């Protein structure tokens, strides 16, 4: 495992009805749901570290701080960029920021831990 601060990745989506608070159940309006914003950010963190992990390793989310600052309507293109800011043993800390065509719509931090995939799955399915 060769993870160092500065690794970056992105996730991009165009907001569709399946992405909205109304559909996801986190509200009743047709705008990007906060859980979908988080999922986009987490997908980018996975993308950033995947090439640097051994084949038997993965990372799992352990902590999130998310500020959803503005609504993104249907059809908006939302881009989330992440950067690995801290590596402490197996613990990884990412900063992220999300933008649509108009504004910064969200920001925060995500912590992940590198684990052995098989051991992790075995432990949680016992």
- The tens digit of pLDDT for each residue in 88-125 reads 999 999 999 999 999 999 999 999 999 999 999 999 99
Average pLDDT (57-86) is 98
**Tally: H helices and E strands in the chain:** 3, 5
With 0-12 CB in 10 A as exposed, 13-18 as middle and 19+ as buried, what is 33? Answer: buried
| Count of structural domains within the chain | 1
Looking at residue 120, which CATH number applies to its domain? 3.10.129.10
Helical H segments across 9-116, by residue range: 21-24, 34-49
Q: Please indicate, yes or no, if residue 34 is contained in any of the structural domains.
A: yes
Q: Is residue 3 part of a domain?
A: no
- What pLDDT sits at residue 1? 67
Q: What is the pTM of this model?
A: 0.94
Indicate whether 2 belongs to any domain. Answer: no
Domain annotation covers residue 87: yes
Among 23, 34, 85, 109, the active-site one is 34
Note if 83 is an active site residue: no
Per residue in 33-69, pLDDT tens?
999 999 999 999 999 999 999 999 999 999 999 999 9
Integer Cα distance of 42 and 26 in angstroms: 18
67: Cα separation from own chain's centroid: 13
- For 39, the 3-state DSSP assignment is helix
Whether 30 is covered by a domain: the verdict is yes
68 is catalytic: yes
| Residue 58 in domain | yes
User: Do 99 and 105 form a contact (C-beta atoms < 8 A)?
Assistant: yes
Domain range for 90? 8-124
In a domain, 91, yes or no: yes
Active site residue 65: no
């Amino acid at each position: 495992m060769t993870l160092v601060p500065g690794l970056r990745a992105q996730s991009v989506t165009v907001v569709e009805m399946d992405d909205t608070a109304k559909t996801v159940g986190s509200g009743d309006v047709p705008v990007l749901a906060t859980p979908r914003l988080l999922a986009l950010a987490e997908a980018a963190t996975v993308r950033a570290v995947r090439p640097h992990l051994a084949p038997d390793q993965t990372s799992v989310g352990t902590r999130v701080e998310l500020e959803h600052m503005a609504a993104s309507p249907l059809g908006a293109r939302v881009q989330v960029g992440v950067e690995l800011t801290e590596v402490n043993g197996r613990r990884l800390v990412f900063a992220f920021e999300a933008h649509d065509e108009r504004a910064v719509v969200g920001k925060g931090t995500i912590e992940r831990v590198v684990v052995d995939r098989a051991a992790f799955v075995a432990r949680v399915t016992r």
